[in-house]
Amino acid sequence: METFFKIKEAELSDVLLIQQLITELAEYEKLLPQMVATPELLQMHLFGSSPIAHVFLAYENETPIGFALYFYNFSTFVGKPSIYLEDLYVREPFRGRGYGKALLEKLIQKAKEKDCGRLEWSVLNWNKPAIDFYKKMGAQPMEEWTTFRVSL
To the query of whether residue 134 is one of the catalytic residues in this protein, the response is: yes
Beta strands in 100-147 (DSSP E): 118-121
CA distance 141 to 41: 31
76, with CB counted inside 10 A (0-12, 13-18, 19+), is exposed
Catalytic residue among 70, 89, 99, 134: 134
Pairwise CA distance, residues 150 & 36, whole Å? 16
Residue 100 buriedness (CB in 10 A; 0-12 / 13-18 / 19+): buried
CA 39 to CA 17: how far, in whole Å?
9
Which has the closest alpha carbon to 103: 145, 57, 51, 136?
57
Annotated catalytic residues are 134
